[in-house]
Structure formats: structure tokens, C-alpha cells
Amino acid sequence: MKNIMLKKCIPAAFLIAISFFSLTACNEAAEKKEERQQYVIPDSLLKTLRIDTVKTCPLVDAITLTGMVDFNQDKQVNIYPLVSGNVEDIKVQLGDYVEKGQVLAVIKSSEMAGYSNSLVNAQTNLAVAKKNLDAQRDLFKSGLASSLDVNNAEANYQQAVAQLEMIERILKINSNNTQGNYIIKAPISGFIVQKNITNNTAIRTDNGNNLFTISDLKDVWIYANVYESNISKIHLGDPVDVTTISYPNRVFKGRIDKMMNVLDPTNKVMKVRVVLPNNDYALKPQMFASILVTNKENKQSICISSKALVFDNSRYYVLKYEGNGKAVITPVEVINTIGDKTYIASGINVGDQIIASQAILIYDTLNN
């Protein structure tokens, strides 16, 4: 009987012992977890941290478009030849910056030589017409000429004046050059962005091709593509942030100033135009650009600094600061991130304090 009771008690005692050790192990694990969560940030580190108070702000929607930098065509001039001739001397090259009035090229032109001869003839004709008019007026006073003779002389004189003025205007455009050379000057200040002539090129006025194109690159255009699904989200005047491959860490600020309101039949996209200041000439035509279009919606959302966010194990976290150097890892649901702001759907409340600098360092310490 005693043996039977002993046999029954041994398993029971064994189970009690196992339960005791299991409970002890669980308590130790809980205590370790509690110790990990109770990590206290040292005062020396705490002084360097940025701690933000959670607040709401207008929810912003954002769309990323692609586009290309182009010339501002309102500040671009195509230069065409006014006379035919041969290119004698080119003073500038592609990419050069030129000032208004600077000589770009000299063209040897028989037409300009003809205008020089015409100037001499016009001056002579005017002198003759003036003498004839004076003579007719004297004869009219003496009764030896009729008023019709005087009127004809006056008409010839006025015609000679008009002819001389016309030739002088033509030569004035050409800097009053009378050597048979046509001088091409820059009508505006800017960069030579197109050059279609070389020395000894024969040019004709009926060719239709421009000789030079000058563009003022102090501001540029960007044409961006908008797909049909995003058209309703794009508005005239929307602010944009532009980045390029050449300057990945630099953001150029601009606005949408024109919407084409028609779809490209090939690509099925609508073009929008962005105007950007370019005072340091950093943006070059034909550069590819990424355009972030933002517009505020009529609702509020919790927003925090993007530097307060930690991404780990496919989830987002923030560090909620509870005071006295204590922080708690808190999972959050993210709506979207735009620049240095992140919009939060849930996980934290208005008024909570969160660590907004060196968040990854504190997060790793709490996890270890």
C-alpha cells in the first residue's frame, strides 16, 4: 500500500517541480523584458535629443511625375539672316554666354554692298531734288513757273527724303556698316543654345533656317507627364518640388503654371508645365527631372517629423517619450510620407511626446 502511494506521489511531485521551474523561468523572462523597456536614456544623450509634441496638420496628397527640363520659350530668340551672303567670321560658339548687342558673326553680302551704293545715290538724289525744289520756288515767285511745277518738285523731294531714310534705317540695323558686311548682333543677353552656321557657309534669306538661338536660362520650364488616373489631382498653381539625377540632394521649388488640357495621342498623358527659377544655371535643358506635386486636402491628420520614424520588421515605429529618460517603442500606421513630414493614421495621439532625433540609436538600445 505504501509502495502504491509512493508511486502516485512521485509523478505528482515531479509535475509540481516542473511547474515551479517553468513559472520561475517565465517570471525571469518577464522581468528581463521589463528591464529592457525600462532603459533610461542618459542625461548626456537626452540633452542632445529633439523631443516633439504630436500635433495635427492639414493632410497633404502627393503625386510624383516625370519630366524634362526645357528652355523658357518666352525668353528665347531665334536669329534669322536678313540678307544673303557668305559667313566670313563667327565670333561665338555653342554654349557661350553673350551680352545684348554683342557681335555673333560677320557675313559678306553683296546686298549690303548694294545698300552702301544706294546710300550714296540716295544722298545725291536728295541733293538734286532739294536744288530743283528751291529753283522752282524762285521761278514761281518770279512768275516763270506754275504751282504745279512747284508741287511736282516738292513731291520729288519728299520721295528722295523717304528713300534716303529707308536706306539709313537698313544700315543702322547693320551698325551703319558700309563695307558690304552684314553684322549679326545678339538681340538679348543669354546663352547660345543653337548654332547652325560655320565659317564660309553660304546663307540665303529664303532658306528658313535660323542661324543662332539665344536663351535666357535664368528660369526654365519643365514639361511633366500626367496619366489619366492622376489628372483630377493636379491643379493650376500647385506647388512642386523638383529633383534631378545631377543634384539628388537639392530640391528646386516651383509651381504648375500651365495645363495643356489635351492628351498626347501616342502616350495618353496630359502635359503640364512647371516654371523654375535658375539663377545659378544649375538646371540644363534636356535634364530628366522628378516632380513631386503636393496639394492640401480639407481634413486634418496627425503628422510627425519623418526623422522620428523607424522601420523594422516590415512595420513602422516611433519612440514615445514618457519622461525621466524613459521611452517606449510604439507601433504606428503610416498614411504617407512627404518630404520631412509623415502622416500617421493610428498608434499615437495628439499631445504625446516622441523622440525626433537619433531615433534609430534609441530603438536599437531598447531592443537589445
Do residue 160 and residue 198 come from a single domain?
A: no
Do residue 202 and residue 256 come from a single domain?
A: no
323: phi then psi, degrees, rounded to nearest 5: 95, 165
Instruction: Give the model confidence (pLDDT) of 163-210 as tens digits.
Output: 888 877 766 765 555 566 788 889 999 999 999 999 988 888 777 789
Q: Name the grid cell of 61.
A: 496628397
For the segment 98-109, the average pLDDT, to the nearest whole number, is 90
Domain membership of residue 42 (yes or no) is no
178: phi then psi, degrees, rounded to nearest 5: -115, 20
Look at residues 249, 276, 298 and tell me which one is the last residue of a structural domain: 298
Confidence check: pLDDT of 4 > 50 = no
CATH number at residue 245: 2.40.30.170
CATH number at residue 200: 2.40.50.100
Do residue 89 and residue 208 come from a single domain?
A: yes
233: CB partners within 8 A, 6+ apart: 61, 63, 293, 295
pLDDT score of 115: 67
Look at residues 298, 313, 336 and tell me which one is the last residue of a structural domain: 298
Do residue 264 and residue 153 come from a single domain?
A: no
Confidence check: pLDDT of 28 > 60 = no
pLDDT score of 278: 92
The count of structural domains within the chain is 3
Mean of pLDDT over the chain: 84
Confidence check: pLDDT of 19 > 70 = no
Do residue 243 and residue 120 come from a single domain?
A: no
Domain membership of residue 143 (yes or no) is yes
For the segment 93-103, the average pLDDT, to the nearest whole number, is 93
Domain that holds residue 95: 78-107+180-212
CATH number at residue 169: 1.10.287.470
pTM, 2 dp: 0.57
Amino acid at 287: M
Q: Name the grid cell of 225.
A: 507627364
Domain membership of residue 13 (yes or no) is no
pLDDT score of 347: 93
Instruction: Give the model confidence (pLDDT) of 235-280 as tens digits.
Output: 898 889 999 999 988 999 999 999 998 998 888 899 999 999 999 9
Confidence check: pLDDT of 215 > 90 = yes
Look at residues 298, 322, 356 and tell me which one is the last residue of a structural domain: 298
